[in-house]
Amino acid sequence: MIVDMGLGGWPTSADQAIIDSVGRYYTEKLRLFGATPRGVDWSSAESQALRFDKLLAVVEDDREASLNDFGCGYGALVEHLTTAGRRFVYCGFDISELMITRARARFGGISWCTFISDATCLCTADYTVASGIFNVKLDYKKNIWQEYVVNTLDTLDRLSARGFAFNMLSTYSDADKQRDELYYADPRETFDLCKRRFSPRVSLLHDYPLYEFTMLVTK
- In tens, the pLDDT along 121-176 reads 999 999 999 999 999 999 999 999 999 999 999 999 999 999 999 999 999 999 99
Question: pLDDT per residue over 168-203, tens digit each?
Answer: 999 999 999 899 999 999 999 999 999 999 999 999
Q: Give the angle subtended at the CA of 180 by the CAs of 179 and 183, to the nearest 5°.
A: 85
C-beta separation of 129 from 117 below 8 A: no
pTM: 0.94
* Chain centroid to CA 28: 19
Amino acid at position 142, single letter:
K
C-beta separation of 134 from 149 below 8 A: yes
13-218: CATH topology:
Rossmann fold (3.40.50)
